Amino acid sequence: MRVPFCIAACLALCAAAAGQTLQRAEALWSARDYRGANDAFRALVAAYPDNPDYRVRWGRLLLERFNKADAAALFQEALERNKEHAGALLGLALAASDSFERKAVELAERALKADPRLVEARELLARLALEENDPRKAAGQAAEALRIAPGSVQAKAILATIEWLQDKTPSEDPRHAKAYETAGYFFILNRRYEEGIGFYRKAIGLDPELWSARSQLGINLMRLGAEAEARQHLEKCYHNGYANDATVNTLRLLDSYKNYVTFKTGNTVLKLHRKEAEVLRPYFEGELKRAIAAFEKKYAFQLERPVQVEVYPEHEDFAVRTLGMPGLGALGVTFGYVVAMDSPSGRKPGSFHWASTLWHELSHVFTLSATRHRVPRWFSEGMAVYEETAVSPEWGDRLDPEVIQAIRDRKLLPVAQLDRGFVRPSYPAQIGVSYFQAGRICSYIAKEWGYGKLLDMLRDFGAGADTPAAVEKNLGLKPEEFDRRFLAWIEAENRSLAAGFEDWRKRLKQVAEYARAGDHDEVIKAGTAIRDIFPDYVEAANVYEFLAEAYLAKQDKASAAAELERYAKRGGRSPAALKKLATLLEESGRTKEAAAALERINYIHPLDEELHRRLGGLWMSQGNLPGAIREFEAVIALKPADTAAAHFNLARALRAADRVERAKDELLLALEAAPGYRPAQKMLLELSRE
């Protein structure tokens, strides 16, 4: 059918007008007039609401300018108009890739299916594969992108980065700022921070206005402790309109450093917030030195420079340190010789074992340094998990329901693919499951082949071996055979628990109902029946605490103490439960065990005046004067209500340790707080006579 001339002319005019508006929006975008470009795209979409292409281009602008939520909404709206729109699918894939979501791969593959010649989808799939430590797949996607578009900078960058990561000279150096930025990203992702920084320097050397690379340069310089230069780069980004969350939040974090104090010893640098530095320093510094000494001996490796540990009382400040890093636990992170972690005050008491976290992160310092940062993520994490429980069987994370379900449902990954579980999880609990699996793999190797084989594998990783090569060389097995044996071992170890898990969960709920109803006999009967089915469960609503409360209600303190001792030895971390255990033990005359129960809390939540006061008294009674002095000093650091008594208790410990002059100083401080305080007056008189 012939279209009437007037209608055809009108359509042509509309198309021309739309094209002009689109050209204007694109031109404003290219000129970095982002506000103007945004307004132009808004007008274009309002004028042509059924055109999905305009929404996709607008979404890409918003995605570039750090507005992922609105960008994703526009991509979804485009898909409502065309459910297989390749550009919209690609936009959603790009948005998902920023947070290492598994659906990024699925969306990119859908985009490629919708448009097999969509080069950007190939580039993204190559990038995603390399993030998962699959260089073969990444190279295949990059090569296909180059077949379609021989000038693809990103495809060339991926191919060059694969070779750089393998310590090879690439067959073609892209010599392009964006290519070096891509290489920098992957080196940082692989925890090769200093080399990554070098690539970011190359990128901004070629293009000083590549703000995304300059921002990452600043962030990673800050991660390695080069704070002054980091600030220079980040402020330059900010003043030139590059104000993404990572840049702004890192600048705010740098501003907050005026509230921190730094303590340096020969091989340690400890950065603590001023408000809690006095109380935390003895515990963190002592544990830091103990761990370094232990690891230097275990790994037969001497660190080249001091280790810096930063402790953040605000979890959001710590989170800024980990922005853009995949698969990280929310407790600590290691950047070479710099460790950042949550403070005990940043977490609910009992939810965080700071000492276990510190040892975990310090293990990374050694495995990264000993291999020149070539160790695979799974092995470094596995060794760190293994080392936590090597310090004490009470430390480390317990076997949890998510892990049990993963074992039962056969969701554990092959060892050669285990890195993927940390980077791009395919189900919500997979990161935690991967930590568990990596740790148990190291335990299995140590049990079957000896701890020395772990060190041999570490050396091979440092020499450039990948996981299959290291497994085959050191264990004499193909990775597939190793997987078969390991899975058989882990399933046998947990078979009865996996089989009875659902029944255990139902019966635990019944115990909780008996406890709420005050039916103590039924709590004891039902609780003791299921206690040993899943003995590692020490989280909220655990059977040990239910049983202890029931026994206490029946005035059976010995049985209550026995249940709480089982709870503590399984790694229970509730300060309230551990204090209750200490009270029961002290009342029964078991003061040594009572002190040990309270000492556990120092590794969990040491910001507790009552804890230090009680433990100081127990240490005094047992003649542990250094321990008593430390605990009474912690009481004072926490600014107690009864200042006079706190200084007097410290004076008692100092006097017993023959530190008379310091004891006098503390007595004077006690009398300054309470001039009529008779015990201090009496002791000061005695010391003066002596």
For residue 328, is pLDDT > 60?
A: no
458 shares its domain with 516: no
Bigger pLDDT: 140 vs 2 = 140
> Which pLDDT value is given to residue 5?
45
Domain boundary among 94, 116, 138: 116
389 shares its domain with 514: no
pLDDT digits (tens, 9 = 90+) for 406-427: 999 999 999 999 999 999 898 9
> Which pLDDT value is given to residue 10?
45
Bigger pLDDT: 450 vs 322 = 450
pLDDT band at 325 (very low <50, low <70, confident <90, very high): low
For residue 26, is pLDDT > 70?
A: yes
- Is residue 587 one of the residues assigned to a domain? yes
> Which pLDDT value is given to residue 409?
92
- Is residue 680 one of the residues assigned to a domain? yes
532 shares its domain with 619: yes
Give whole-number Cα distances, 241 to 33, 35, 286, 652, 677, in Å: 10, 11, 45, 61, 63
Instruction: Provide the 3-class DSSP secondary structure of residue 586.
Output: helix
For residue 490, is pLDDT > 50?
A: yes
pLDDT digits (tens, 9 = 90+) for 628-664: 999 999 999 999 999 999 999 999 999 999 999 999 9
Residue 263 has, within 13 A of its CA and on its CB side, a CA count of: 18
- Is residue 402 one of the residues assigned to a domain? yes
677 shares its domain with 657: yes
472 shares its domain with 541: no
- Is residue 242 one of the residues assigned to a domain? no
> Which pLDDT value is given to residue 321?
73
- Residue 210, phi-psi category: left (phi > 0), alpha (psi -120 to 50), beta (remainder): beta
349 shares its domain with 416: yes
> Which pLDDT value is given to residue 669?
97
pLDDT digits (tens, 9 = 90+) for 460-474: 999 999 999 999 999
pLDDT digits (tens, 9 = 90+) for 574-602: 999 999 999 999 999 999 999 999 999 99
> Which pLDDT value is given to residue 323?
66
For residue 160, is pLDDT > 70?
A: yes
pLDDT digits (tens, 9 = 90+) for 525-566: 999 999 999 999 999 999 999 999 999 999 999 999 999 999
Query: Containing domain of residue 448, as a range?
Result: 259-476
For residue 17, is pLDDT > 90?
A: no
634 shares its domain with 660: no
pLDDT band at 316 (very low <50, low <70, confident <90, very high): confident
> Which pLDDT value is given to residue 59?
96
Domain boundary among 79, 97, 116: 116
As a whole number, the mean pLDDT across the chain is 94
296 shares its domain with 333: yes
For residue 327, is pLDDT > 70?
A: no
Mean pLDDT of 360-377: 97
Query: Residue 378: which of 452, 433, 339 has the closest Cα?
Result: 433
632 shares its domain with 656: no
Say how far apart CA 419 and CA 398 lie, in whole Å. Answer: 21
246-252: Cβ within 8 A, 24+ apart: 246/215, 246/219, 246/320, 246/323, 246/324, 247/215, 247/218, 247/219, 249/320, 249/323, 250/218, 250/219, 250/222, 250/320, 250/323, 252/320
- Is residue 612 one of the residues assigned to a domain? yes
Rg (CA), the chain: 30
For residue 9, is pLDDT > 60?
A: no
- Is residue 252 one of the residues assigned to a domain? no
Task: Write the CB contacts of 51 (distance below 8 Å, at least 6 apart in sequence).
Answer: 18, 45, 81
Bigger pLDDT: 290 vs 318 = 290
For residue 8, is pLDDT > 70?
A: no
- C-beta separation of 598 from 579 below 8 A: yes
Domain boundary among 639, 654, 674: 639
- Is residue 51 one of the residues assigned to a domain? yes
291 shares its domain with 431: yes
pLDDT band at 616 (very low <50, low <70, confident <90, very high): very high
Mean pLDDT of 483-492: 97
Count CB-CB contacts under 10 A for residue 584.
23
629 shares its domain with 655: no
675 shares its domain with 567: no
Say how far apart CA 578 and CA 23 lie, in whole Å. Answer: 69
pLDDT digits (tens, 9 = 90+) for 249-277: 899 999 999 999 999 999 999 999 999 99
> Which pLDDT value is given to residue 293?
97
Count CB-CB contacts under 10 A for residue 322.
16
Mean pLDDT of 235-243: 95
The CATH code of the domain that includes 547 is 1.25.40.10
Q: How many domains does the chain have?
A: 4
Instruction: Give me the residues paired with residue 145 across strands.
Output: none
- Is residue 148 one of the residues assigned to a domain? no
Least confident span in 85-99, 168-182, 308-322, 429-443: 308-322
> Which pLDDT value is given to residue 318?
78
> Which pLDDT value is given to residue 272?
98
The CATH code of the domain that includes 404 is 1.10.390.10
pLDDT band at 331 (very low <50, low <70, confident <90, very high): confident
